[in-house]
Amino acid sequence: MLKKRYSRDGATCTVTFVIQPDQAEGIHSAHVTGDFNNWSRSATPMKKAADGGYEVSVKLDTGREFHFRYLIDDTRWENDWHADKYSQSPFRDAENSVVIV
């Protein structure tokens, strides 16, 4: 799930990336990776929320689209079920989630 909060001047948007509790069962760690962090597997760790889900907020420049995916337990890639859209990734048989800000 994506939560968006735009700055007053509209230049940036704080996007909160959320893995909901029902999707987080059995997960021990999660990171969001994407265009905004050079697809780093460690730069943007998600924190476990009180409800059992995971979340992290990232400030992004508006007027752009950013591709991203979740890295679960350092081994499994997942898309966001509520992304703004999906786009074919450079890897065969995989799509990226896309957030539009």
- pLDDT of 20: 93
Sequence ranges of the domains in the chain: 2-100
Say what the pTM is. 0.93
Q: Which residues of the chain have pLDDT under 50?
A: none
pLDDT 10s digits, 37-64: 999 999 999 999 999 999 999 999 999 9
- Across the chain, mean pLDDT equals 95
CB 17 within 8 A of CB 63: no
Query: Is CATH 2.60.40.10 what the domain over 2-100 is classified as, yes or no?
Result: yes
What does the pLDDT read at residue 89?
86
The tokens describing 91, both together, are 């890897």
